[in-house]
Amino acid sequence: MSKILINCTTSGKNFLLVCLMMLTACATASQGTNQKITVRSDPQNAEVITSHGYGCDETPCSFYVPRNSSFELKVSKPGFSTKTVKVKTVLSGVGAAKSLGSVILGGVVAGGYDVYKGAVLEISPNEVTVELENMSALLFEEVRLFSNMKLFDN
């Protein structure tokens, strides 16, 4: 009877070990398909919008974007210049390792799913800080330069 009990607990431990390995191996399950990006601006309270429609109303802010596509981030505030930042996707070391684990435990389909969903990628940079230029100061400088020109002297 005790020999049967030992075999049951050993096979139960093996089953639990396999389940844990499968959960930690899947990049999609552990990293997810979205990643948080943080945007700061000087001055604050600028609007942020990405080329695929994500964003926030006031900086500083954080929001989630899909890992599987590069995009442009536009930061704007009335009276100030608008800045555009390119955010790219790069291969994530953690995501690639976990996707390899998916292939080993779940086959090519599991690894392919991680790649398709973008779990093997990460966005870079994931923290963006921009400095917006005051347009009224730029306009004042333009007027000053223009007024110093001697256009109508005889």
The pLDDT tens digits of the residues spanning 57-99 come to: 999 999 999 988 899 999 999 989 999 999 998 876 555 455 5
Q: Tell me, yes or no, whether 60 lies in a domain.
A: yes
Indicate the number of domains in the chain.
1
The pLDDT value recorded for residue 55 is 94
Q: Tell me, yes or no, whether 148 lies in a domain.
A: no
Instruction: Select the more confidently predicted residue: 30 or 42.
Output: 42
Q: Tell me, yes or no, whether 11 lies in a domain.
A: yes
Pick from 15-19, 88-92, 101-105, 129-133 the range whose average pLDDT is largest. 129-133
The pLDDT value recorded for residue 8 is 45
Q: Tell me, yes or no, whether 37 lies in a domain.
A: yes
Q: Tell me, yes or no, whether 81 lies in a domain.
A: yes
C-alpha 17/C-alpha 106 separation (Å) is: 15
Range of the domain at 54: 2-132
Q: Tell me, yes or no, whether 141 lies in a domain.
A: no
CB 57 within 8 A of CB 44: no
Q: Tell me, yes or no, whether 36 lies in a domain.
A: yes
The pLDDT value recorded for residue 111 is 56
